[in-house]
Amino acid sequence: MNRVVVVGASAAGLAAVETLRREGFEGDLTLIGDEPYAPYDRPPLSKQILSRTWREDRLPLRSDEDLSALNVELRIGTEAIGVDTRARTVKIASGEALPYDGLIVATGVRPRALPTARGHLLRTLDDALNLRSRLEPGRHLLVVGAGFLGAEAAATARGIGCRVTLVEPAPVPLAHAVGEDVGRMLSTLHSERGVDLRTGTGVAEVIDDGVRLVGGEVIEADEVLVSVGSVPNTDWLEGSGLRLDDGLVCDEYCSAGPGVYAAGDVARWHNPLFGTSMRVEHRTHAAEQGMAAARNLLRGPQGRPFAPVPYFWSDQYDMKLQAYGYLRGHDEVALVEGDLDERRFIVAYRTGDRLTGVIAAGIAPRTLRSWRQAIARSAAWDEDPPTPSEPTRRAA
């Protein structure tokens, strides 16, 4: 293999490039990204950047020196517009065709817009700076959608003294993902902090001075943030022969076709640990999958299935939620430690007869790690709760 092209210059793409070099790949390496920035971190956008606790110069994932040490041709501000899997070339917007022996697709997702395409979105640094410049104490932000991202932005805006309305069509925010009890706890948290939470009501459109709800009621607001889910960036792969189905479809090796691998938010792959196809939109997962895809590209038939326990965190006010596993489609949810009202708890998820996930707040990392290990070994649901293992002792 002489030439590898990685499309998408963010968490997954960067991890892929670094892994290729670490594993000894000495050929030509090109990293293409359509944003005007070198790889930067996205999770702080809805937290430290929006709250002005961080300046944006803390976001880059690597220094210029680290990037140049990788000996990678970094082409930022460059959009990939197509791939020819027979000729093995990636076409970019300038019309140039970049040849590859191996291709890693790491193009992430973009926010879903409402039909009128109005209101702020929050995915990129530019989005965050734009929204931030409009948020001052006393201004009214209306957030459409109380998923993790919308809820985090609402919490941050409250923190800087904005009035906040959070509108969510589901009766209980996030109930489909984390269950009713955790969803209700989150609702209470936001209401206690002064967010005007309107559940069971959808937004029909964003208008000049706010939003119009499905029933016709108008809620006025200075700014509207639309946070209603995301769409995988696979349009540029249409017609390539690669399988697209809510993401770029891959096997358990993260392979989408001969010489083509995918990683991060855009990749729908078969996770053998849970026996199902999944697409995961979490920061640490993106990096892990970038590494796995790069290794498997180099190893070919000696590659290893990618079977992680997905992890994510979400910061809302002073609460850090952490989750391991695959919570979607669960059959049962049970509080296994602590108390939701005290915001110190572990909630476990059963799918079939297995423990498939946990979500927690205020719990010692050691305890959480033991739950993670139980999920990784496909523990039966009726097993005793895992006990934290002793810290590894170093030999004297």
Question: Where on the chain is the footprint of ligand FAD (CB under 6 A)?
Answer: 7-13, 32-35, 42-43, 45-46, 79-80, 106-109, 122-123, 149, 233, 236, 264-265, 281-283, 286, 312-314
Q: Which is nearer to ligand FAD, 10 or 187 (CB)?
A: 10
- In sign, the C-alpha dihedral spanning 7, 105, 39, 124 is positive
- Nearest distance from C-beta of residue 11 to ligand FAD, angstroms: 4
Tokens of residue 105, six digits = 């697709």
- Nearest distance from C-beta of residue 293 to ligand FAD, angstroms: 11
- Nearest distance from C-beta of residue 61 to ligand FAD, angstroms: 10
Q: Which is nearer to ligand FAD, 309 or 379 (CB)?
A: 309
Q: Which is nearer to ligand FAD, 49 or 221 (CB)?
A: 49
Pairing of strands 163-168, 140-144: parallel
**3-state DSSP assignment of residue 46:** helix
For helices 148-159 and 180-192, the axis angle rounded to 10 degrees is 20
Rg (CA), the chain: 22
Contacts (Cβ under 8 Å, ≥6 apart) of 328 = 177, 278
Q: Which is nearer to ligand FAD, 219 or 267 (CB)?
A: 267
- Nearest distance from C-beta of residue 302 to ligand FAD, angstroms: 25
Q: Which amino acid is present at 112?
A: R
Contacts (Cβ under 8 Å, ≥6 apart) of 139 = 162, 163, 222, 223
- Nearest distance from C-beta of residue 200 to ligand FAD, angstroms: 25
Q: Which is nearer to ligand FAD, 8 or 325 (CB)?
A: 8
H-assigned helices in 340-390: 365-376
- Nearest distance from C-beta of residue 129 to ligand FAD, angstroms: 12
- Nearest distance from C-beta of residue 169 to ligand FAD, angstroms: 21
- Nearest distance from C-beta of residue 109 to ligand FAD, angstroms: 6
**Contact (Cβ atoms closer than 8 angstroms) between residue 39 and residue 9:** yes
Closest CA to 30 of 62, 61, 63, 76: 76
Q: Which is nearer to ligand FAD, 8 or 219 (CB)?
A: 8
Q: Which is nearer to ligand FAD, 234 or 379 (CB)?
A: 234
DSSP helix, strand, coil percent of the chain (3-state; round to 5): 25, 30, 40
Give the separation between CA 37 and CA 228, rounded to whole angstroms: 25
Q: Which is nearer to ligand FAD, 107 or 356 (CB)?
A: 107
Cα–Cα distances (Å) from 392 to 79, 366, 389, in that order, read: 47, 11, 8
Size of the chain in residues: 396
End-to-end CA distance of the chain: 45
